[in-house]
Structure formats: C-alpha cells, structure tokens
Amino acid sequence: MGRVVNPHDLLRLAPGTPDFPDAPAWVAASLKRAPFVVVRRAVSVDGSIAVGIRGAVRSERFGSWLDPRYVERVLEPETLLANSKPSITRAELPAFALLEAIAPLCDSSGYVWGPTGSAAFELASGSPTVTQTSDLDLVMRAPEPLDRAAAKTLFDALSQAAHDHGMRIDMQIQTQDGAFSLAEYVHPGARVMLRCADGPRLVADPWQTSQAA
C-alpha cells in the first residue's frame, strides 16, 4: 500500500490477512463479520500501522499492528458521507439523524470533515454498530489555523443540534501534528490537549506545537 493513512481511517482487510498476535477470542469472529480495522494514533513500528479492532460491545476493543500489504481498501471519514448511507431501517437512529442534520453546518465551515466512531464503522462496513444511545463522533481536518470565533460559532451550532436530538456530539480538530477537542478550543486563550502520535501535549496553539504549557 503506497498511500499514507491517518487516525480514524477505516481499513478493509485483504483476504488472507494473518491472525493478530495475542488477540482475544472475540477478535476472529468480529473480523469475520466485518473485516475492518480503524487506524490508531501511534508512532509506526517498522512500517506497520497501528490499528484498533472493535467487537460487538463497548468493552471489546483490541489494539494491534498491521502490515500495510494486508490493506485492501482505505476509507477516510470524509469520503463516507458521499459514498455510504445507513440502511433505511437504521437511518432514523439518533446518531445518523444528527449526522444528517449537522452536515450543512460542517460543510459551511469550508473544512473537510466526516464521522468517526460507531457511525463511521457502520457506514464503512455495513455491519450494524450504532445503537440508540451512541454518541456522534466527528473529525475535521484543519491543517491551517482555525479562527476561534468561527470555531465558537460552529461549536454552538453543533451543540444546539445535539441538544435538539437529545444526544452528545464530539468534534475533534485534526492538525498536521495531532488532534484536539473543538469544545476545548472555543474558550479564548485556553490551552488544549493535543493528541499526537507520541503522546498528548498541553499547548497554547495547536498549530505551533512547540508552545507547550
């Protein structure tokens, strides 16, 4: 695989992918049901990709490493909205209903964005993953600084939409070096926790990671 992958990308495993070492018993059944893993935020080891595997319940999560040659397809969060839709019977679930409602808000920001978490996994794999109580997790790509006033406007609009749907929404902002919570960034002058491949950093400016607290 020649392309670079990013945290939250979903990877479809190629036929013949070896078993993951030290994996709990539920992993094999989960991958048979939906042969997808999600890219984790970690420093690459010998060219391998840090991946996470999800099971049928929240407590079933397993982190491992994947040789890039076993990646059949890469699905980025920002491609899922255009190329995948929930089934008619599941589109009314709160997470999917909220995703549809906030799409114009996020599109108007001018930044590339998409769903992550359970909503992304179901859109990518077609395997029922979202529940009635699932939160909606999002990522927005912002390689250049995001104006705090614009961020506050977006945050307020997303929060209102989430309130109207009776659920929780979490937007992560992805920079060149890591990701941070939109909810933390909207407070003027506040430092944010930037989650990087080599660990978290408390920074004043997420686009200038040398400005650590």
The CA distance from 126 to 50, in Å, is 23
- Residue 19 falls in the annotated catalytic set: no
Catalytic entry in 9, 67, 107, 135 = 135
DSSP 69: G
Question: Residue 71: enclosing H or E segment and its boundaries?
Answer: strand 71-75
Catalytic entry in 9, 137, 156, 170 = 137
Instruction: Give the total residue count for the chain.
Output: 213
The CA distance from 31 to 12, in Å, is 10
- Residue 137 falls in the annotated catalytic set: yes
The CA distance from 20 to 62, in Å, is 10
Q: Which of 79, 121, 85, 203 is nearest to 211 (CA)?
A: 203
Structure tokens at 175: 């920079």
- In terms of Cβ atoms closer than 10 Å to its own Cβ (0-12, 13-18, 19+), residue 102 is buried
| DSSP β-bridge partners for residue 73 | 12
Question: Residue 13: enclosing H or E segment and its boundaries?
Answer: strand 10-13
Which sequence positions are flagged as catalytic?
Answer: 135, 137
